Structure 1
Amino acid sequence: MVEELIILVVAIVVAVVLYKLLKTATKMAVNAILGLLVLIVANTVLGLGIAYDWLVILICAVAGVVGALLIIVLNYTGIAFV
């Protein structure tokens, strides 16, 4: 009886932890995709000429929309990603 209760409690804890992790991972994935979309649209519409190399994709994947805006500003000012 005690073993079954322990297993039930552990299963509930694991379910809660997985829910929180997946919820956070989903938000991060959506933010990364939106960041890349903002960069692609800005690059296409404004003709910025930003190359899609591993650094640009990594910045957009980690920082999302804010990262894309940072890349656009740095490209526009001529500091980086020219």
Structure 2
Amino acid sequence: MIESIILIVLMVGVAALLYYLFREGVKLIINAIVGLVVLYLINLFDLMSYIGGGDLPITWASVIICALGGVVGVVLLVVLDLVGLSV
């Protein structure tokens, strides 16, 4: 009897953990997609030339930064490009 109760409590805990990880994972995926779209739009409309920067190259490093950081990663890439550091 006690084993059944322990198993039920354990399964509820696992279900709650999976729900939390899925919810946070979806937020991270959406943030990464938005970051990559913003990076693409900056290059598509050549927005860096309006603020005094050069072309913002899309390299593997910049894609990884945008995928992990989202919009904050794009802002970081723009600031680094304006300072003169290329990723």
| Coarse TM-score class (shorter-chain normalised) | 0.7 to 0.9
Tell me the CA shift for residue 78 of structure 1: 5.5
1:2 matched to which residue of 2?
A: 2
Q: Flag structure 2 segments of 5+ consecutive residues without an equivalent.
A: 49-54
Between the two proteins, the alignment pairs up a number of residues equal to 81
Question: What is the root-mean-square deviation in Å for CA atoms of aligned residues?
Answer: 1.8
1:11 matched to which residue of 2?
A: 11
2:35 matched to which residue of 1?
A: 35
What is the TM-score of this pair, normalised by structure 2? 0.80
Q: Flag structure 1 segments of 5+ consecutive residues without an equivalent.
A: none
1:20-71 alpha-carbon deviations (Å, 9 max, x no partner): 1111111111111100000001110126533221210111011110111221
Q: Structure 1 residue 58 and structure 2 residue 61: aligned?
A: no
Report the Cα distance in structure 1 between the residues aligned to 2:3 and 2:23, rounded to whole angstroms: 30
What is the TM-score of this pair, normalised by structure 1? 0.84
